[in-house]
Amino acid sequence: MILVYSHKITPRLTYIFRQIFIRILELPVDFTSTIEKFVSHSGPKLSYTHQPLGKEFFIASHDLLYQQGVQEVPIEVSNWSGLPAFFKLGKQSQLPYDVFSASFYLISRYEEFLPQVKNELGAFLAYQSLASKNNFLEIPLIDLWAVRLKDKLHEFFPGLPHVSWKKPKFQPIISVVNPYRYQKRSLLLNITDTFSALWRLDFFSIIDQYLVILGLRKDPNNNFKELETLFKKFGYQPLYFFLFAKNNFYDRGVSIYNYSFRKLIKNTADLNQVSLLASYASQQESKFLNPECDQLKRLIFKKIDSVRFNYGLLSASSGYYNLLENEIQKDYSMGYKEELGYRASTAVPFYFYDLNNDLQTSLKIYPVVADESGFRKFPNQMAFEKLKELYGNLPTSSAFHGVSFSNAILNSEDFKNSWCNQFINYLKYHVR
């Protein structure tokens, strides 16, 4: 066990130290503000305060972990032997940067609690983030800092146990907005699709649409049996998130009262973990989330304890409070819909820290490094090579490699590319 001394033990301090030592590095940690206890401790120990007590492993502390509330924090990002870093320290410190305060700033999504310009949906945009502005969005920076800390600790404490390496977990996520492209949809939506295709002079889509409606061709989005066969073949346990809300301006899917749709969800839930793809309205107002959870729960006879937002997490400063109010335990929305990378600068699951009340909550957040709408911007082969690169750069076995696909990923009739084959090869890659 590593004993940490600080002149003041705060909720922020214990939160980030436990995240780095226990969840990322898998090393036990304890805390004290009593000098006598720290001095008498015979095992590995470090002090995190303003001045070293003696010749111990010392890291100088920035003030962020001792503050309360949210305020503008001056940040200057510089280069630390190839890694971006900020909160630079003096020469006495064993590390040149306060990685604990910096990690807390990033993982708590501190910048999303500050005033910022949002888009028409009310979303915090990737380009506004510190990670995007300083070109570290695609690396799990907190985890890399943690590994450097561990290496320094091993130099200082040769007897510190080494953690055995194992492959990080790859978790396929299937986000189902429209289980069918043409079938089971309202007449109005089908007419809208037809006029949209006419406007684009896309006559192939119109022919395809009516062949499906007439039952002469399989619906290109209805790939659930094929997905089940693939996941079973490769030994995966996917997570399915179904949009199960009444149609509105933002969320347009199949009616929640449609018998075929309800049967599809029920059959999927019999073999897999199924949860809620929460609507735009439910992220905006808590009163909409509870009915969606309750309706899905009554359909599949399983507790709904996990959620993913249909439009992605709009802002950590608002969306997560609705989940807490409805006693949701897990979230799979921490990422950007249109950009690949680590929104919270970590690939390791963590608990949401409520900056408004300065406390760790019970909501566990699973980072999602890529959404299909994000990697579809790349040519198909390049997209999956990019996903492999992101996975290959994970520095710890505690990492979680969550990637969200739509049920349309297996559409083999997409003449423009071979996403289906690339997806299957990607699943094979993770089996090795």
From the list 172, 144, 162, 137, the residue with the least C-alpha distance to 394 is: 144
| Same domain? 285 vs 423 | yes
User: Going by C-beta distance under 8 Å and a sequence separation of 6 or more, which residues neighbour residue 122?
Assistant: 284, 314, 315, 318
| Same domain? 140 vs 238 | no
Measured distance CA(397)–CA(237) in Å, rounded: 19
| Same domain? 132 vs 237 | no
Q: Which residue has the tokens 């890529």?
A: 370
pLDDT along the chain (432 residues), means of 10: 96 98 96 96 94 93 96 96 95 94 98 90 93 98 97 93 85 94 62 62 60 65 92 96 85 85 95 95 90 96 95 92 94 96 98 97 98 90 94 96 94 65 94 76
Within a domain: 193: no
- Looking at residue 254, its pLDDT comes to 83
DSSP state at residue 72: -
| Same domain? 261 vs 316 | yes
Strands 239-242 and 273-278: parallel
- Looking at residue 215, its pLDDT comes to 61
From the list 371, 179, 172, 181, the residue with the least C-alpha distance to 266 is: 179
CATH number at residue 374: 3.20.20.370
Within a domain: 164: no
| Same domain? 68 vs 113 | yes
| Same domain? 408 vs 283 | yes
Within a domain: 204: no
Within a domain: 199: no
Within a domain: 13: yes
| Same domain? 99 vs 176 | no
Within a domain: 192: no
| Same domain? 227 vs 373 | yes
Radius of gyration in angstroms for the set of CA atoms belonging to the chain, rounded to a whole number = 24
User: Going by C-beta distance under 8 Å and a sequence separation of 6 or more, which residues neighbour residue 8?
Assistant: 33, 66
Within a domain: 195: no
CB 345 within 8 A of CB 335: no
| Same domain? 174 vs 145 | no
- The values of phi and psi at residue 277, to 5°, are -90, 95
Give pTM, 2 decimals. Answer: 0.92
User: Which domain, by its residues, includes 89?
Assistant: 2-156
| Same domain? 142 vs 225 | no
- Looking at residue 202, its pLDDT comes to 60
| Same domain? 35 vs 71 | yes
| Same domain? 254 vs 145 | no
Within a domain: 355: yes
How many distinct structural domains can be found in the chain? 2
- Looking at residue 415, its pLDDT comes to 44
Convert 158-183 into a string of H (helix), E (strand) and C (coil): CCCCCCCCCCCEEEEEEEECCCCCCC
